[in-house]
Structure 1
Amino acid sequence: MPVVRTVGPAGTALLLVAHGSRDPRHSATLCTLADGVRSLARLRTEIAFLEFDRPGIADALGDSVAAGADRVVVVPLLLSRAYHAMTDLPAALAGDWPVLVRRTEVLGGSPLLVAALERRLFEAGLGPADRESTGVAVAATGSRDADARASVAAVAGALRRAGWRDALPAYVTGPQQRPGDAVRELRARGLRRVAVAPYVLAPGLLPDRIAAEAAAAGADVLSAPLGAAPELVRLVVERGVGAVTG
């Protein structure tokens, strides 16, 4: 994978904003992601959470100002343009800040996310040659937003185009097809090997429910959350640096 090597303007910082979770594995994983972004971008990089964890956005922005930043690029660690991206984050960023604050697009829609999902599937024991005989349930947390659900379906479509025998979207909350249902549907379509790929950034309660439903439905493979996969690190850097240099 090509390496992005960028030194941003003096006084520029990146602020990665995640939803947050009470599960300490969640923040630990995203802090590791932030470490990777900091190393690759060579910019001051901090993380903040919308709820359930600390620091919040105001505290993180204050820390960046205290460290000498005069411009902060906010990169939402969100996979779709659903409620958190369209309502919670703008509300949290509203107001007068003592620095220039610029917000990037969410992470969804990039082929790097599909590459990261494939990396996790291969790390779970599959290989490139298994694509043609394996069905994948792309398991997301769920959303009332139709565009957010469409983005998960688009990832499943991208996996099919990448050569996987079949791929279906699934959601661990809401009325749509659940991970266990997707596993059973793929079996009904004749797939002897079925994998569940959590389309989530970090461990937590809902990813644990994805894992439990996958096991109960008899999935053959369960991959890990995206975490600090190199492709995700690169995507965050591209979002942030693009806002710095654009």
Structure 2
Amino acid sequence: MSETHAVVLFGHGARDPEWARPMRRTRDHLRAQAPRLRVELAFLEFMAPTLDEAIAALARDGIRRITVVPMFIAQGGHLKSDVPRLVAAARALHPDCEITLALAVGEADGVIAAMADYALGCSVASRD
């Protein structure tokens, strides 16, 4: 990855700022794994920055490849309608940027396997 590429971890947002703790931990972990990759957070509602604000800041900083990773468990209503509209609007505002929308993180095979492993570990621990 180069310094002209960024990942935006995009979540729903919540009124409680502690809700974003797992997203901040994921961002920090990703930054540690790929120090040259720009990693930012963005939120649909209740928290800042919004997706359009995060993408605008990245574009101002010269980032030309942006991957939006929805930090959602599944492709629900927001991801089927709201998020594609937001990404399309960002593409129109920043035609010099390649903006890619990934599947919801919870749809990835590795994440599903990790959730199953976690649930299994919980069930085993509860028998002890």
Q: What range describes the TM-score normalised by the shorter chain of this pair?
A: 0.7 to 0.9
Kindly state the Cα deviation for residue 117 of structure 1 after the two structures are TM-superposed: 4.6
2:9, 2:70 within 8 Å by CA — same for their partners in 1? yes
**1:37 aligned onto 2:52:** no
Distance 2:61 2:119 in 1: 36
Which structure has the larger Rg? Answer: 1
Structure richer in helix, relative to its length:
2
Deviation of the 1:109 alpha carbon: 4.3
Correspondent of 1:63 among 57, 63, 66: 57
TM-score under structure 1 normalisation? Answer: 0.44
Q: Whole-Å Cα distance in 2 between the matches of residues 117 and 73 of structure 1?
A: 26
Deviation at 1:125, TM superposition (A): 8.4
User: In structure 2, do the counterparts of structure 1 residues 31 and 120 end up closer, same or farther at CA, with 3 Å as the change threshold?
Assistant: farther
Partner of 2:100: 102
Alpha-carbon contact 2:3-2:38 (below 8 Å) kept? no
1:55 shift after superposition: 0.6
Residues 100, 116 of structure 1: alpha-carbon distance in 2 compared, 3 angstrom cutoff: same
User: Of 45, 48, 53, which residue of structure 2 is paired with 1:51?
Assistant: 45
Q: What RMSD in Å do the two structures reach over aligned CA positions?
A: 2.4
Map 1:14-163 → 2, pairs under 5 A: 14-42=7-35, 43-95=37-89, 96-98=92-94, 99-107=97-105, 108-119=107-118, 122=121, 126-127=124-125
Structure 2: runs of 5 or more not aligned: none
Q: Distance in 2 between matches of 1:101 and 1:41?
A: 19
Tell me, yes or no, if the aligned pair for 2:5 and 2:64 is still in contact at 8 Å. yes
Q: Displacement of 1:35 after TM fit?
A: 1.0
Higher relative contact order (CA 8 A, sep 6+): 2
Q: Could you tell me whether the CA contact under 8 Å between 2:73 and 2:104 is conserved in 1?
A: yes
What are structure 1's unaligned runs of at least 5 residues?
1-7, 131-192, 194-246
Judged with a 3 Å threshold, the aligned counterparts in structure 2 of structure 1 residues 69 and 87 are, in CA distance, closer, same or farther, namely same
Q: Deviations over 1:173-210 (max 9, x none)?
A: xxxxxxxxxxxxxxxxxxxx5xxxxxxxxxxxxxxxxx
Q: Which amino acid aligns with 2:99?
A: V
Could you say if the C-alpha distance between residues 35 and 120 of structure 1 is closer, same or farther in structure 2, counting changes exceeding 3 Å? farther
TM normalised by structure 2 equals 0.80
Change (3 A) 1:44 1:109: closer
Cα offsets for 1:119-149 (capped at 9, x unmatched) = 3664x6845xx7xxxxxxxxxxxxxxxxxxx
Partner AA of 1:102 in structure 2: T
Task: Give, in whole Å, the separation in 1 of the partners of 2:28 and 2:116.
Answer: 20
Aligned residues: 122
Cα distance between partner residues in 2 of 1:33 and 1:126: 26
Amino acid at match of 2:93: W
